[in-house]
Chains A and B, each alone.
Chain A
Amino acid sequence: MSTDDATTAANDRLADREDMIVCVDVDKFYGDFQALKGVTATIKEGEVAVICGPSGSGKSTWIRCINRLEVHQGGDIVVDGIELTNDLRNIEKIRSEVGMVFQQFNLFPHLTVLDNITLAPIWVRKKPRAEAEAMARALLERVGIPEQAEKFPGQLSGGQQQRVAIARSLAMEPRVMLFDEPTSALDPEMIKEVLDVMKELAMSGITMMVVTHEMGFAREVADRIMFMEGGEIVEVGTPEHFFTNPTEDRTKLFLSQIL
């Protein structure tokens, strides 16, 4: 495969790292429609992988399979050495190690920002409330909105809501963060504030899988870019390779439409 060089380059930087997410031949069906066709990929610890592709290509389905919001029917998914099976305990473990940020934020509208963030640490991680709140305030500081702690999500702008959602995921101290089109539902002027937070996260060394159409972000931050179409990974490569010298025709077509 001609992507070998680029992959090797990325692998060099991350060569000595542990495998964080391993997917082998993952299949997913919706009735007659096959959304994932034998997706195979390995994400290293600390890697930032950006997944792009036309809509309906299976990007979201794939990352939703990784914390079992969708159940894959064929193949294997292993996260941090824990295989995702029917085992209740494994599902619990993976859910508490993998954070997820949604396109529609999905904040809990009846809870304040602070309660949104502290809910899981208190009830899943069994942390004392005071400790959880202190951490929540620190996280709000980190995403740049410390003054909004007592407000309700409905009183915040879209960008602020998405930053709260990121803080909520981080509060569980996850080893992996999944981002499902985090900026698609935002007005243009708010996209940057969210991307800035995500960049800062990427620098901090957390493993990230990001489904996005923000090519600028991908070019700047990603270790690898994966291009999906029709439920398959078509091309994988470093940003330089991907943007300057894509090998597959389908990738070229996609890039020509989006750039």
Chain B
Amino acid sequence: MQDANQGSVDPEFQQGIEDRESSPHEIPSLPVGQWLRQNLFSSWVNSVLTLFGGFLAFFALRGVLNFVFSENRQWDAVRTNLRALMTLSYPESQYIRVWVSLGFVAGLAGLSAGLWANWGGVSVKRVSTWLMGTGGLLAVCVIVREPSVILGSDGKVVRTLEGSLQRESFLDAMVNRSSWWIAAVVLLVAGIVLWRRFASATHRGSELPVTSVVFLGLGLAVLSLWIAPYGHYAFISETKSYVAESGRTVAFSTKLPWTVMLALLCSFFGLGRLLQRSEYGGLIKGASNLLWLVSPLTLFWVVLRDPALDYGHVISTDLPMGLAFGALGGAVLWSLTRTGVGEAGRLVATMLLGFAIFNWVAAFFGWYPMLQKARISFLLLAFAALLAPNFMGEIAKRRQLVLGWLGVTALVHYLATMINTPSTVEVQSSEFLGGLGLTLFVALIVVLLSFPLGVLLALGRTSKFPIFRMLSTSYIEVIRGVPLISVLIFFSVMVPLFLPDGMELAELAAVLTGYTLFSAAYLAENVRGGLQSITKGQYEAADAIGLTAAQRTSFIVLPQALTVSIPQLVGQVISTFKETSLLAIIGLFDFLRVANSVIPAQSEFLGVKREGILLVAIIYFFFNFTISKYSQRLERRVGLGER
């Protein structure tokens, strides 16, 4: 093995790899025989390695296939519990909310994809090799998998007298898998045809747009819902159970929404392409970015709540209060942005901030009552007032600030009012939000909330103020030194103890807090890497042209630091998403817990664990792999890799 290792880091080859990675399109295509000789059998060491790898691959593949298609697998456990895996016990009658939210995301995704239309292409050669590879792999899988067990007329396995299983003969197996054969051959032929037509030397550069390849794939997937007999699993509300009928296509309530999703995605993509060229392109881009930012919270809120408004209260309290804050706050901001306000403006802003913070302290101790909305509004107003000097002078800019304030007030008051009214969505149990929905909810919220906190911590750690540095560093290092599970347990068990009398925090909220604080420490380290890459000259130049520390940070330092740390930040998002699986340990019903504990406890699927966990693994893999591939693509396009 020693010899083999040394052979594998052959310096000359290293260069070859670098070349290949930097410019994947430039490798000349070789005839098959030559390719094999060069890549698999170049020396006797290499041939031995190929043989060894081949055996390894063979047994691994065979093991996986035999596991997945074994007669012992009860995939019905997963199929009938798909809905539980996705949303746990979300009420059937309210499901339309989920679909509407998903539809919104699909539309928004399509719109954004259309607006940022420059997605680049994927070379025909890659598509064809991919098709051939998939076809070949499929064919190999069909051959490698052991012959199926013979089932008797009652659907049970047939055993010989000694008790061993009876399997069909190899030839029978190959014949019975004819549909797979056909699929493999179709893929192979398609690949070869593409290769022959386009991948010759003259067409080497030709590319297919990435978006059309993706849409084609999605379209085929949705089409298969209407054609392929995946099995019909209908939920019978009376008995609260599923009726399974194999051999049919999936239920109408599944295939219709997905078709609509695809339609939305495609049509909004087209719309985005149209708008991109219009004069409002930039504006719409900004709007869609803003929508991406606010949609997670809003959508989850749509899914989880259906407030029944008390109109009396709305008219007597909510509306006047919103108007008052909008008008008075707007007036304050308008006057603060007059030219020549000077020091007085800062003083007013600071006093406002003090008052707003005092309100929260008072809330904590319960000194005097105040609507939460008012507290939030005062805090926001204080922040706006602190920002006011930046909008000073010109009428247009002052108007911008005031209009922004009105918009924020309207949004916040609307959301706060809605959140504070009781919901009509029937909550069946405490674990009503669960499954993949919970996982995504937690991941999104944690990523969104930990971002600003992480940036602040990173700034603190690189600050030239020793006490800030000390505080941030010790926070970051302590958090990074302990495992997430201990932090989560600490928060889910201990947070109730830390709160004063009369204040309560739901377990989910406590866990979210803990997870956010944890994630922020890691994020801070990633951002710090970016901050350290910024040269001293940038700081000096910013100082020399007279920017304040806050302006320097937000216009010069952070934009550059965050761009540099995009790869690490994406990595952080992926690991945050992966670690949401730990919710299963502390008693929340995420989809891993559903697969690991809920399904195996059902009477008809007692102890059936592996199928569910495998599905969970595949879903996690799909998300993470897609994100990381996308980020690599982004990196290459931004040119980060070249530094």
Contact = CB atoms under 8 A, between A and B. Distances in A.
Interface in B546-579: 546-548, 551, 555-556, 559-560, 563
Contacts of B540: 69, 100, 102, 106
Interface residues of B, number: 25
B394 A128 contact: yes
A123 B390 contact: yes
* Contact-residue size bin, chain A (C-beta under 8 Å from the other chain): 20 to 34
Nearest to A98: B544
A106 B535 CA distance: 9
A165 B538 CA distance: 12
Contact of A128 (B397, B535, B546): B397
B560 A109 contact: yes
A108 B537 contact: no
Contacts of B393: 126-128
Interface string A122-136: 011011100000000
Contact of A106 (B390, B538, B555): B538
Contact of B544 (A67, A104, A109, A126): A67
Contact of B537 (A98, A102, A168): A102
B174 to A, nearest CB: 60
A106 B546 contact: no
Contacts of B556: 108
A169 interface: yes
A92 B546 contact: yes
A84 interface: no
A195 interface: no
Interface in B174-213: none
Given A119-B555, A128-B397, A107 B546 contact: no
A225 B545 CA distance: 26
B537 A119 contact: no
A102 B541 contact: yes
A123 to B, nearest CB: 5
A120 B543 contact: no
A99 to B, nearest CB: 7
B396 interface: yes
Given A123-B555, A169-B544, A108 B538 contact: yes
A222 interface: no
B545 A168 contact: yes
B639 to A, nearest CB: 10
Contacts of A104: 535, 537
B543 A95 contact: yes
A169 B545 contact: yes
B68 to A, nearest CB: 49
Given A102-B541, A123-B390, A123-B555, A110 B546 contact: no
Contacts of B527: none
Interface in B486-518: none
B544 A95 contact: yes
A172 interface: yes
A96 interface: yes
Given A110-B559, A123-B551, A128-B394, A69 B543 contact: yes
A16 B307 CA distance: 78
Contacts of A123: 390, 547, 551, 555
Given A92-B546, A110-B560, A126 B392 contact: yes
Given A69-B544, A95-B544, A128-B397, A110 B563 contact: yes
Interface SS majority for chain A: loop
A9 B339 CA distance: 46
Interface string A242-255: 00000000000000
Contacts of B541: 100, 102, 106-108, 165
Nearest to B343: A89
Contacts of A127: 393
Given A102-B541, A106-B537, A124 B560 contact: no
Given A108-B556, A128-B393, A119 B543 contact: no
Nearest to B396: A128
A100 B546 CA distance: 10
A208 to B, nearest CB: 15
Contact of B546 (A108, A109, A120, A165): A120
Nearest to B395: A128
Interface in B396-439: 396-397
Nearest to A124: B546
A104 B551 CA distance: 22
B396 A124 contact: no
B547 A120 contact: yes
Nearest to B541: A106
Nearest to B554: A123
Contacts of B560: 108-110
B547 A124 contact: yes
B563 A172 contact: no
A92 B552 CA distance: 13
A90 to B, nearest CB: 13
Contacts of A92: 546, 548
Interface string B439-453: 000000000000000
A106 B557 CA distance: 13
A109 B393 CA distance: 29
A83 B543 CA distance: 18
A100 B559 CA distance: 23
Contacts of A67: 543-544
Nearest to B536: A106
A96 B544 contact: no
B369 to A, nearest CB: 40
Nearest to B390: A123
B550 to A, nearest CB: 10
A92 B537 CA distance: 19
A96 B546 contact: yes
Given A69-B540, A128-B397, A119 B547 contact: yes
A11 B381 CA distance: 56
A172 B537 contact: no
Interface in B367-400: 390, 392-394, 396-397
A204 to B, nearest CB: 20
Nearest to A69: B540
| B390, B540, B545: most-surrounded residue (chain A CB, <10 A) | B545
Interface string B313-354: 000000000000000000000000001000000000000000
Interface of B: 339, 390, 392-394, 396-397, 535, 537-538, 540-548, 551, 555-556, 559-560, 563
19 contacts: A69-B544, A95-B543, A95-B545, A98-B544, A99-B545, A100-B540, A100-B541, A102-B541, A106-B537, A106-B538, A110-B560, A110-B563, A119-B547, A123-B547, A123-B555, A126-B392, A126-B394, A128-B396, A168-B545
Query: What 10 A-B pairs have minimum CB-CB distances, sorted nearest first?
Result: A106-B541, A106-B537, A120-B545, A100-B544, A96-B546, A95-B546, A126-B393, A124-B546, A128-B394, A126-B392
Given A95-B546, A107-B541, A126-B394, 19 more contacts: A68-B543, A69-B544, A92-B548, A95-B544, A95-B545, A98-B544, A100-B540, A100-B541, A104-B535, A106-B540, A108-B541, A108-B556, A110-B560, A123-B390, A123-B547, A128-B394, A128-B397, A168-B545, A172-B545
